[in-house]
Amino acid sequence: MDKTMGSVRTFRHKDYELLCGANPLDNGRFAPALIVSKQVWPSRPRQIAVERGNYLTEELAIDAAYTQGIEWIRDYG
């Protein structure tokens, strides 16, 4: 995640760890950010492109990143 990261929360789902974050935007809103790491070999963190959005709070942006992380695991994991 980049240097302007606001809040970050870590979740575990199956054999994966999700780092879900909220990057502050210029307009006072937040954009979701997501890194997925497999917790078994080979574990290689992957920054996942999430749908862009302007969320009013950090929590809403983190929830959006989490939802997209679960979808990514379901589809590609």
Domain housing 63: 8-76
- Residue 45: inside a domain: yes
d(CA 4, CA 13): 26
The number of domains in the chain is 1
- Residue 2: inside a domain: no
In this predicted structure, what is the pLDDT of residue 1?
A: 44
d(CA 4, CA 21): 11
User: Which pTM does this prediction carry?
Assistant: 0.85
Report CA-CA distances (Å) from 2 to 8, 13, 40: 11, 23, 25
- Residue 12: inside a domain: yes
**pLDDT in single tens digits along all 77 residues of the chain:** 444 557 899 999 999 999 999 999 989 999 999 999 999 887 789 999 988 888 999 999 999 999 999 999 999 97
CB atoms within 10 A of CB 62: 24
The domain that holds 31 is classified in CATH as 3.30.160
In this predicted structure, what is the pLDDT of residue 5?
A: 53
Q: Which pair of structure tokens corresponds to residue 76?
A: 């590609």
- Residue 31: inside a domain: yes
- Residue 1: inside a domain: no
The 3-state secondary structure of 41-53, one letter per residue: CCCCCEEECCCCC
- Residue 3: inside a domain: no
